[in-house]
Amino acid sequence: MSSEQDKSRLPARRLPSGAPIRPETDVKASIGFLPKTGTIEADEKIHIARQEDYDPMAIELALNPPASTPTDKLRLLLLAVVAALLVFVFFPYYRFFKPTPRDLGLMSIGGPIMEKASPGANVRNKPWLGVLVKIDQLYFREGKLTEAIKVAESALGEIPEKDWELWQKVYYRYWELLSDAGRIQVLKTSARAYLTRFPEDPFANYYYARAFLTATDRIGAYTPEAKKAYRQEAETVAQQINSACNTLVARKQHPQANEDRAAALTDLYQKLRLEQAKLYVLIWKLGGYEEDEHPDVAYRDKALDICESQALVDKKEARALRAVIYTHILDRWHWFEGRQIVQNHEQKRKDLQKKLESLIQELEKTKKL
């Protein structure tokens, strides 16, 4: 060892150019030679494992892993089936693909009223008609929604309250444009002001209910005070819609109501009733989607009754709302619980689930049409 240390103390040899000559061992170390490797045969592996004191059974299993028997395969298949059934029971598909409410379309006075269809004499005698023509031209022909709303607001802002009814068609178009523009608070304020003078007006009730429902839907969480206030307001609006619908039924029965007029009144009636059903669902929601004998169940059942009424039973929008209600019921109805009372009838969970599945299938078919 001392000789090796003495060699390391010797001065390094140099080339004629003056560069030092590195020792042979240093060159080999920098290249990094590795010894050649080869495969180890099974017998040698066994020998090494025994030298390392491996368990003989472990060595045997490593060399000869057991093959799956038919019984093992059947057991695995049964476990997979049971797992699938548990997923189906505890996580049914409607929990992931929940239906959403739909609209019957906006309540409207119809297509655009153009200048050609409105003679000059009519415009002079009916100032509101001239404003309506201008609004419709801006919106339907030129696509200027914001400007059309400004024209309506400018004209309606100068109308005394006693003349509101004369300008009702301008109000109706104005609310339609506000709804298209998503100006919910303005729509709600305008429709509510109109309702103070004409509480049974179908358009005012419809657009106020629509604005109210949209506004509440945007709220993430409710305080107890907010729940109480919204609940009271929803009950008031639902009662007003009830009166408006009764008025529409009376107008439809008038002797002068021709077929076209009756069809238009029916359309208004259906749209109002659907909004009323949504209000009842909101009241049920604000109460925490109660069930069984809780008083709030009456609002849930009222919504279902409306959706299953003769006027709406064939409408896909009513079916969608029924599906929403059924989904909320099933979300809180565990599979091991007994029967529940829905619409004054005891029902089994599996029967209600079949109804929901049938509704979803019907709604899927309407999407393909």
Render the burial of 141-169: b for 16+ CB within 10 Å, e for the rest. eeeeeeebbebbeebbeebeeeebeebbb
Rounded CA Rg of the chain: 39
Residue 41 neighbours by CB distance under 10 Å: 9
Per-residue pLDDT, 214: 94
Residue 45 contacts residue 38 (beta carbons within 8 Å)? no
Per-residue pLDDT, averaged over 329-349, amounts to 89
Integer Cα distance of 161 and 157 in angstroms: 10
Span 265-278, pLDDT tens digits: 999 999 999 999 99
Residue-wise pLDDT for 275-327, tens only, equals: 999 999 999 999 999 888 899 999 999 999 999 999 999 999 999 999 999 99
Residue 234 has pLDDT above 80, yes or no: yes
Give the per-residue pLDDT at 110: 84
* Residue 187 near residue 178 (C-beta atoms within 8 A): yes
Higher pLDDT, 186 or 5: 186
pLDDT tens per residue, range 235-259: 999 999 999 999 999 999 888 888 8
pLDDT at 178: 97
Which tops the pLDDT comparison, 74 or 45? 74
Instruction: Give the pLDDT mean for 78-92.
Output: 69
Give the residue-averaged pLDDT of 213-228: 88
| Residue (of 309, 323, 331) closest to 366 by Cα position | 323
Phi-psi map region of 221: left, alpha, beta (phi>0 left; psi -120 to 50 alpha): beta
- pLDDT exceeds 70 at position 174: yes
Are 203 and 172 contacting, i.e. CB atoms less than 8 angstroms apart?
Answer: yes
Mean pLDDT of 337-355: 91
What is the distance between the alpha carbons of residues 281 and 321, in angstroms, rounded to a whole number? Answer: 9
Residue 53 burial class via C-beta count within 10 angstroms: exposed 0-12, middle 13-18, buried 19 and up: exposed
Please give the pLDDT value at position 9: 47
- Asked if pLDDT for residue 328 goes beyond 80, the answer is yes
Percentage of residues of the chain with pLDDT beyond 90: 54
Asked if 207 and 168 count as a contact pair (C-beta separation under 8 A), the reply is no
Q: What angle do CA 156, 239, 331 make, to 5 degrees?
A: 115
Q: Residue 134 above 70 pLDDT?
A: yes
Residues 119-143, mean pLDDT to the nearest whole number: 83
Q: Which helix (H) or strand (E) holds 192?
A: helix 184-197
Which DSSP helix (H) or strand (E) runs through 342? Answer: strand 340-342
pLDDT of residue 28: 47
DSSP state of 199: T
* Residue range 207-233: mean pLDDT, rounded: 91
Q: How far apart are CA 116 and CA 324, in angstroms?
A: 46
Residue type, 293: E
Rounded alpha-carbon distances, angstroms, from residue 82 to 93, 94, 337, 350: 17, 20, 21, 19
User: Model confidence over 16-47: pLDDT tens digits?
Assistant: 555 555 555 544 444 555 666 667 676 777 77
Q: Which tokens is 300 given?
A: 């849930």
